[in-house]
Structure 1
Amino acid sequence: MREQNNMVNRSVTIMIVDDSRDNLELLSTILKKESFRTHSISSGIQALELAPKLRPDLILLDIMMPEIDGYEVCYQLKNSPKTVDIPVIFISSKNKPDDKILGFDAGAVDYITKPFHRAETLSRIRTHLALKDARDELHRANQEIIIQNKKLEMAYQELQTIARTDSLTQLSNRGDLYRHLEAEKSRFGRNQKPFSLILCDIDNFKKINDTYGHDCGDYVLVHTANLFKKHTRLQDIIGRWGGEEFLFILPETSTAGAEIVAEKVREAIDYFPFMYDEKLLKVSITLGITLYDNFELSIDDAVKQADEALYLGKMRGKNRSVLYSEIRNTLKD
Structure 2
Amino acid sequence: MLARIVGIILGTILATSGYVVAGWGQLGSWAAHLDLGPFEPHRPLAGAAAAILGGVFVVAALTPRPKPKSRKKGPTILDFDSSLAAWPVAAPEQDFAPIATPILNVAPAPSLQPASLAQPVEAAAPQATPAPAAAESFAQMRERMVDLTRAESWSEAARVLIAMKSAARGDRELAAVYRDLGDFARGQGQMDDAAEAYETAASYARDALRAAPSNVDAIELLAGTLAGVGDVAEAEGRLDDALSAFEESLALRRSSGGREARDPHAQRALSVSLERLADLREDRGHRMRALDLYRESYDVAARLAAADPARFGPDLALTRQRLAELEAKVST
Give the TM-score, by structure 2 length: 0.21
Which structure: greater strand fraction? 1
* Structure with higher helix content: 2
Q: TM-score, normalised by structure 1?
A: 0.21
